[in-house]
Each structure stands twice: as C-alpha cells, then as structure tokens.
A and B are shown apart, each in its own frame.
Chain A
Amino acid sequence: MIPKRLLCLCVFSLLVITLPACSSSSSGNGKVAIAGTVSVNGEPLDTGLITFIPVGKGVAAGGKIVEGLYQIESSAGLFPGEYKVEIDSKKPTGKKVPETIGTGMIDEYASVIPENYNRKTELKVQIQPADNKHDFTLVTGK
C-alpha cells in the first residue's frame, strides 16, 4: 500500500505548489485616482474632456466631464507629480457643414473653452499620493 500513499502525497504537494502561483496579486502599482468638478463662469460644464499632461517625466491620463463632474479610476490614473491640465468642450454652433462624403450635412461644432485652458493651457495641479480632489473654475472672456 505504500505506492498509493506516495501517489496521494505527490498530488497533494502538486496542488500546494500550484495554488499560490495561480493567485497573483494585481493591486496598486502606484497610480492614484483623481476626481473633481469643472465649472465655466460659475456654471457646471455639462460635457467635455479633461486631460492631465505631465510637466516632467510621466504618462498622460484623462477622462470625460459629465454634468460638471469628472472621475479617473486609479487603474487609469496618474502617478503623483505636477501636471498641466487641458479642458476641452465643444458645442454646436447651429450652422451645418457638409458630411465627409459630401452629400449630407452635419452640425458644426465650436470650442466653448478658450485656448489658454487647453492647447495653450496655464492650468497646473500637483497630484498627491492620496485624496486627489481637484476642482477647476474656468473664466471665459464672454
């Protein structure tokens, strides 16, 4: 009866060895979540896009703005550091422009955010290792 006991032992040890290998940990890699509000001239920005561009070395991240709120999960988030912030939002102008194949017409859109908040941004934030809530209050000339 020794071989059978040996077999059982083999199987048991195999299980013990392989089980920890299957459960690899995929927890935080140092990126942090970030959330907050965006308002333009006191009104929440209903639709838009926010992008964080690293000032030094690093990776960019961004998300959508919905009804004045934005939220970026930690999995898609940022490493702590200094970032430039670009905010974009487009609204239909009411005019129509030709669609790509030239037959139909689609809405023409225009930016409602001046360039000093996106392509030539002056907004900067410092992302902290925890509790990142950053609110942006934009003021347009109009």
Chain B
Amino acid sequence: MLRRNRGFTLIELLVVIAIIAILIALLLPAVQQAREAARRSSCKNNLKQLGLALHNYHEAHSRFPPGMIYRQPKRTPFCLFLFPYIDQANLYNLYDHNSSWPTTALKPVRTAPIPTWQCPSDREAVILDTAALWGDPGASIKGNYGVNWGRNTWISQGKASPFNNFFGAKFRDLTDGTSNTLAMMEMLKPVSTAKEYRAWIWNDEPDAYPLMTRVGPNSSSPDLTVLCINEPGRLPCSGGNGTSSSVASRSMHVGGVHVLMCDGAVRFVSENIDLGTWQDLSSMAGNEVIGEY
C-alpha cells in the first residue's frame, strides 16, 4: 500500500494513441467526402441558376436563346444571351454586339470569370493568350455547362432538341413536355494547355459546348471532336471531325452528371442510364414514353 500507482503506464498510453489513430483513419476520408458533397451541391445550384435564366429569357423573348450563331458574319455563342439573367448585365453591355466573338477587343469580356458557369468539382481551366494557343483573339474562360444538342452529331441532331444553330425552342415546341426534355448538361474542361475546343463556352464550334446523347454520360467512348487532346478515362476523343462532331456529357462526380430539364428542374442522372432513355430525354418532340431513370 506504500507505492500507490499514479499516472499511466506506457502500455496504456500506447493503447489510447492507437484508438485515436483508428478513429482519425475512419474520419478523414469522411471529411474529404463532405468537401466533395459541398462542391457537388454548389455545382448543381449553378445549373439551377442557368435554368432560371433560361426561363427569364423565355419570358422576355418568348423563346429560348439560340444554341449558337455559327460561322456567320456575327459569330455569337449561347452563353452571351444568358448574361443579363445571371447578374452579368455589365459584361453583356461591354460586349460589342456588332462584332464576332474572336477579336482582340473583346478579350476583357471573354476572360471575365463567370462563376455561374464553373463547377467547383472540375479543374480550373482558361484559354491563355499564348501564341501556342490562339493568342489575344482566342483568350477566353471555359465553362462546365453545355446545351442539349440532340442524339447524333452537330450537323444532324437525329431528333430535334430545344437548341440548334440559329434556333432556340418555344415552350410550345416542347411537345414531349418540359419535364421530359433536357436543356443543359455538365461537361468537363480540358487542361489549359490543350489546344482544343471542348468546354469553350465562348466558341461557336460544333465540339465546343453543344452536347449530344449519342453515348451515355461519362462514357468511356471517345468524343468525335475537331481538335483532340485525348485524356483517357476523363475526356477521351478522336479528332478530325468538323460539323459531324459529337461530344458526350461528362462530370467529375462519382456515378453520373447533373442535368437541367426545360422546366427548370435539376436532376442527377446515373452514368448507367439506359441509352435509349437518355436519347429520348434529348428530343423535344419525339413522342417517346419515358420510363423511370
């Protein structure tokens, strides 16, 4: 009874440390998951904002904005039409509406960050003004949301989608129902050093931001693009396609992509969605019966 044991022995301390280590090992991956979940919901919210912008545009102009004005005297991308409705009216007014987008004078407009068009789950990517890319006339931001361009290729949609060259649908054109028709989908940005068009929201090229449902979301199948810097597993592609380009919807989210329906709803679509259903969702007047997805 003289030597009363105060304090801890080495073994007891080691045991406590081991238990703490196990708990941390269990918790850390969960923290990372929570961060990705936050990014995903921010990404989804952006798409919702674009959906509201589309509806406000429709309210003002009685139709959706045109998918693009392609290689005509005034080449204009889709994103410009939505700027006044996503709190970018100043940028819209700064744009010279008598000019095509690829000019040096419009570089400040094209390089302004548009947070609504960026999904935080994806990498940062911009087109720099380096000579190896397109110089000052090309410098732009890239974005993560593209428009539904049917089930086939740029030049031939297969069945009509709400957006086409010089065309944006009216609600009355959507006879499949606004809830059953895709408006916009997610896309991924190539690295900033890659000389290619994908995710280039300022560019009216067939493989820039039009997205097709020829293959499913996050497909392993390579995109048909004009310029191609192949990124297997992420952005696979095969170059040399002009107006016959076809780009699939892709995202960094595990298991699928976010999509915006024409009624303004945002949904998460699994990459294992039946291809037929996915293609039926892209047509606006295809008379298909769409099951669960």
Contact = CB atoms under 8 A, between A and B. Distances in A.
A119 B221 contact: no
B11 A64 contact: no
Interface residues of B, number: 43
B242 A60 contact: no
Contacts of A37: none
B38 to A, nearest CB: 24
Given A60-B219, A61-B221, A62-B222, A90 B241 contact: yes
Contact of A91 (B221, B236, B240, B244): B240
Interface residues of A, number: 40
A23 interface: no
A99 B137 CA distance: 12
Contacts of A54: 274-276
Contacts of B271: 59
A62 B221 contact: yes
Contact of B15 (A11, A18, A53, A100): A11
B12 A7 contact: yes
Interface in A89-128: 90-92, 97, 99-103, 106-109, 111, 119
Given A11-B19, A14-B19, A72 B274 contact: no
Given A7-B15, A51-B215, A109-B241, A100 B205 contact: yes
Nearest to B205: A100
Given A11-B19, A100-B197, A103-B137, A60 B221 contact: yes
Contacts, number: 106
A91 B137 CA distance: 28
Contact of B275 (A58, A102, A106, A108): A58
Contact of A4 (B11, B18, B214): B11
Contact of A49 (B9, B216, B224, B227): B224
Contact of B152 (A63, A91, A119): A119
A2 interface: no
Nearest to A101: B102
Contacts of B224: 49, 88
A64 B222 contact: yes
Contact of B220 (A53, A76, A102, A108): A76
A53 B222 contact: no
A103 B152 CA distance: 30
A101 B221 contact: no
Nearest to A111: B244
Contact of B102 (A47, A72, A102): A102
A64 B153 contact: no
Nearest to B26: A18
Nearest to B222: A49
A13 to B, nearest CB: 12
B168 interface: no
Contacts of A88: 224, 238, 241
Interface string B187-224: 00000000001000001010000000011100111101
A130 interface: no
Central interface residue in A11, A92, A101, A106, by most chain B CB within 10 Å = A101
Contact of B215 (A15, A62, A101): A62
Contact of B219 (A11, A48, A61, A91): A61
Interface string B34-61: 0000000000000000000000000000
B166 interface: no
A49 B134 CA distance: 28
Nearest to A56: B276
Interface string B1-34: 0000000010110010011001000100000000
20 contacts: A4-B9, A4-B12, A7-B12, A8-B15, A11-B15, A11-B18, A15-B22, A18-B22, A51-B215, A51-B221, A52-B221, A59-B216, A62-B219, A62-B220, A72-B220, A76-B220, A100-B134, A106-B227, A107-B240, A109-B241
